[in-house]
Amino acid sequence: MKKVVCAKDVEILIKQGKSTLYVDANTILTPSAKDAAKLADVEIVVGAPQQRACEHDSTPASSCDGAISSDLIYSALKAMYERGMLDAFLKDLTRKGFTSEAVGGGKIVRGNSIEMEPFETGTAGAKACSQEVIGKGDGRIQSGFFEIDHSRFEQDFACEANCHLLEGTVNITINGQTVKAETGDVFYIPAGAKVVWDAAGKARLFYSRFPQSKG
């Protein structure tokens, strides 16, 4: 029978003062166990430990409860701090994906700081990414960048939007009617529209959407 090792087992190992987790072909390591071991610098070794008399096996008995305790989190953060990794980790957690500054009650976003994030298209194999730079906390209009990479997928628009194609070309179908948009073109999408994006290459656009206009 396969033995399941999870984050709780790694925590027990750490409390025992051990830094090596021994596994074999009959061991199943959960993703949380792998993450916990990595954060706490616990080495995972395939094979049986070389034991001396009266020494116990460092393969824990299964005690999975699906949760990671505060002790394990503390141990992991302490290990990261001691290795000089904590500052970078915390900065990564709070990073917004762009740099912005407040100006007279408004906001400026530095274009060279924008980092795109994966966009879930709902279509297998389709690739797209986006980054909203003017959000709900900034005003009634939400704006950002959207990229399509050699992909075709559908999207339902809950609210109306204006789009400016910055790079590339894309065939866009709005409620069953298709038009080819080229670099520099601007187009409007009504609230409640069913849209199909179809880009043979890479296309990048800037959008502004109006949540209060939901269809």
More confident residue, 94 or 174: 174
More confident residue, 192 or 34: 192
Residue with the two structure tokens 């027990």: 12
The yes-or-no verdict on residue 55 having pLDDT over 80 is: no
Helix axes 70-82, 31-39, angle to 10 degrees: 40
pLDDT digits (tens, 9 = 90+) for 133-165: 998 788 889 999 999 999 999 999 999 999 999
Q: What pLDDT score does 126 carry?
A: 95
The residue type of 148 is I
Whether 190 contacts 137, CB under 8 Å? no
Burial class (CB in 10 A: 0-12, 13-18, 19+), 213: middle
pLDDT band for 22, please (50, 70, 90 cuts): confident
pLDDT digits (tens, 9 = 90+) for 86-137: 676 665 555 567 888 889 989 999 998 899 999 999 999 999 999 999 987 8
pTM: 0.57
Whether 115 contacts 98, CB under 8 Å? yes
